[in-house]
Structure 1
Amino acid sequence: MITLFYILSAITLGTALLTILSKNPIHSAIYLVLCFFSIAGHYLMFNAQFLAIVHIIVYSGAIMILMLFTIMLMNLNKEDEKNKNLLSRLAAVGAFGLLALVLLAAFIKSRPVITQYENSGQDYQSIKVLGKVLLNHYMVPFEFASILLLVSMIGAVLLSKKEHINS
């Protein structure tokens, strides 16, 4: 089990690094899909099957298809892309370094909140329990999320639609 964790971790870190370092945006998107699948493998190791399946469907399916459509719609060419000057590269490296220091300090200072784990005996992996909680206690935020997704989808269609000038 430990070796499977190390293998999945190596695949996750390797494909994440290849996603960042890849020059071709399509190859980068494929590496990101592989990274998402390896993260779903981690969820399976935590015995969270529902979360793993939802992760594969939502991220590897819907989000990556949206990203690929965006990449193809933008028609990224190397000839059209201008190189960034040295000052903007140094600013990006500095911003990344500051963010890394803040995250490292937060991880070092963090402490566990729960000192003792209490088992209620209820199975939260069950889709029946998840449905009851989602549609009873969190009904309003669930509906707001669906409306937000609908509005963003309509906005994306309107933005990508080309205007025809009738003369």
Structure 2
Amino acid sequence: MSATQILFWFLSALAIVSALSVVISKNPVYSVLSLIITFFAVSGHYILLNAQFIGIVNLIVYAGAIMVLFLFVIMLMNLNQDNEPQKNKWLKMAGVVSGGCLMLVFVAAFKTSEVNGKIAQTIDGNIGLTETLGKALFNEYVVPFEISSILFLSAMVGAVVIGKKGD
């Protein structure tokens, strides 16, 4: 077994355990911290697949910015057990049934998918490298890239205008 396979299985086990911990944990802070660990494991998978740009962006955007936002929101909320309404047993049963149905759909979708003979190009290819992505972005897709930057700029100006109207 090579080091890449060992790292893949370690990251897979870490992602599955931390994702289950997100769902099972009763404390929302522990749940968010487990979600951060899941994002780190997923970023490790991206890097193993030679998609360094997506892995780093996943770390910066999701594990960095969004999870900090989640932590701040959870810290600002009043999470007393006294204020939380108790859920009906039928509502809990409906959640279990709908989750089981979703799992059945996933199993059926994976059963019909064909992955035999499809291997990710990780050693020889430069598909996910940042240099290749930059060349494709600024050579073939420069017009859509510039249009999206103008769209983001207009959204930012609109947010500032809407924010200033309240003053």
**Same fold judged by TM-score > 0.5?**
yes
Find the partner of 1:58 among 57, 61, 68.
61
Q: Gapped runs of 5+ residues in structure 2?
A: none
Runs of 4+ in 1 over 4 A off after TM superposition: 114-118, 141-146
How far residue 115 of structure 1 moved from its aligned partner, in angstroms, is 7.6
Which residue is 1:33 aligned to? 36
Identity of aligned residues (%): 39
Distance 1:7 1:137 in 2: 37
Distance 2:69 2:143 in 1: 27
How far residue 56 of structure 1 moved from its aligned partner, in angstroms, is 0.6
Are 1:20 and 1:28, in contact at CA under 8 Å, matched by a contact in 2? yes
Find the partner of 2:92 among 89, 92, 100.
89
How far residue 19 of structure 1 moved from its aligned partner, in angstroms, is 1.2
Q: For residues 17 and 139 of structure 1, do their structure 2 counterparts lie closer, same or farther at Cα, with a shift above 3 Å needed?
A: farther
Which residue is 2:128 aligned to? 125
Are 2:49 and 2:120, in contact at CA under 8 Å, matched by a contact in 1? no
How far residue 46 of structure 1 moved from its aligned partner, in angstroms, is 1.7
Higher RCO structure (Cα 8 Å, ≥6 apart): 2
Which residue is 1:147 aligned to? 152
Are 2:46 and 2:54, in contact at CA under 8 Å, matched by a contact in 1? yes
Q: For residues 12 and 147 of structure 1, do their structure 2 counterparts lie closer, same or farther at Cα, with a shift above 3 Å needed?
A: same
How far residue 21 of structure 1 moved from its aligned partner, in angstroms, is 1.1
Distance 2:143 2:96 in 1: 43
Aligned AA for 1:30? L
Aligned AA for 1:129? T
Deviations along 1:113-153, one digit per CA (max 9) or x if unpaired, are x98999xx9833343432343354275477558639x57xx
Aligned AA for 1:147? F
Are 2:52 and 2:129, in contact at CA under 8 Å, matched by a contact in 1? no
Q: Gapped runs of 5+ residues in structure 1?
A: none
- State how many pairs are aligned: 155
How far residue 76 of structure 1 moved from its aligned partner, in angstroms, is 2.2
Are 2:50 and 2:127, in contact at CA under 8 Å, matched by a contact in 1? no
Are 1:134 and 1:142, in contact at CA under 8 Å, matched by a contact in 2? no
